[in-house]
Amino acid sequence: MRSPVDGLDAPAQVLVTGASSGIGLAMVEALLDNQAVAGICAVSRHACASPELAALARLHGPRLHRIDADLATDAGIDAVAVGVRSVTGVLHLAVNCAGVLHDDAVQPEKSLATLDRAAFQQVFALNAFAPILLVRALLPLLDARSRCVVASLSARVGSIGDNRLGGWYAYRASKAAQNQLLRTLSIELHRSHPLATCVLLHPGTVDTPLSAPFQSRVPANALFTPARAARQLLDVIAGLQPRDSGRFIAWDGRDVPW
């Protein structure tokens, strides 16, 4: 079976965050079906309580290791590093699918009047700061002499050049901040880990709890199932070369404007 990381000649050790729902869960399922994947660390706040991940653990045994961690906190980032180290000394692929658009405390803003400092802080903590702090914590697990991929889910609405509709201030800005942070990382990583690839990915519009309240104007043929989205993103990831590092790539392989 094709390795999830091009040019990797060993069974892949993988980390997926946001693994309890939507695209992350579908990624875990697809990767577990790939015999070129040795093991997966699946992270979310409630990974161990997720019935879907429990069912996959029953099916795939020790290939799946679940880690509960709130990535919006330092303790959560540390818990991921400790949890991953307990099962592997090396990571070949890390896919960050954790993200927030809305929850009990946060709704995407329609206008300036509804902006809120606490909401900004919550959204930025997960969407902007967690991905880069996670890589900082996991860096010792990336082998400088072998192929590895760090991919983080962004969103086209985080594109500044493509922003024609307005609204969704915190979500848009947090994704734009993530893009800049990981683009900057890609330059530093190239010096220390020349075989590494670090990219931002836009999954398209995907039928998940995150998009559910906002799907009414999305044509049916433009709304992907999580399984299809995961497949498409894993295809993009499997085709990446180190020269692609620093790109912001959509599900169809095309660049998204910054």
Question: Which residues of this protein are in contact with ligand NAP, per CB under 6 A?
Answer: 18-24, 44-46, 70-72, 97-100, 126, 153, 155, 203, 205-206, 208-211
Residue 253 Cβ vs ligand NAP, minimum distance, rounded to whole Å: 16
Residue 2 vs 46, nearer CB to ligand NAP: 46
Q: How far apart are CA 68 and CA 154, in angstroms?
A: 22
Amino acid 18 reads: G
Residue 77 vs 240, nearer CB to ligand NAP: 77
Residue 170 Cβ vs ligand NAP, minimum distance, rounded to whole Å: 12
Residue 91 vs 97, nearer CB to ligand NAP: 97
Residue 100 vs 133, nearer CB to ligand NAP: 100
Q: How far apart are CA 17 and CA 99, in angstroms?
A: 9
DSSP summary character for residue 62: G
Instruction: Please name the residues in contact with 234: beta carbons below 8 A apart, sequence gap of 6 or more.
Output: 4, 27, 30, 31
Residue 97 Cβ vs ligand NAP, minimum distance, rounded to whole Å: 4
Residue 143 Cβ vs ligand NAP, minimum distance, rounded to whole Å: 25
Instruction: Please name the residues in contact with 152: beta carbons below 8 A apart, sequence gap of 6 or more.
Output: 95, 96, 131, 178, 182, 199, 200, 201
Q: How far apart are CA 47 and CA 17, in angstroms?
A: 9
Residue 81 Cβ vs ligand NAP, minimum distance, rounded to whole Å: 14
Residue 70 vs 244, nearer CB to ligand NAP: 70
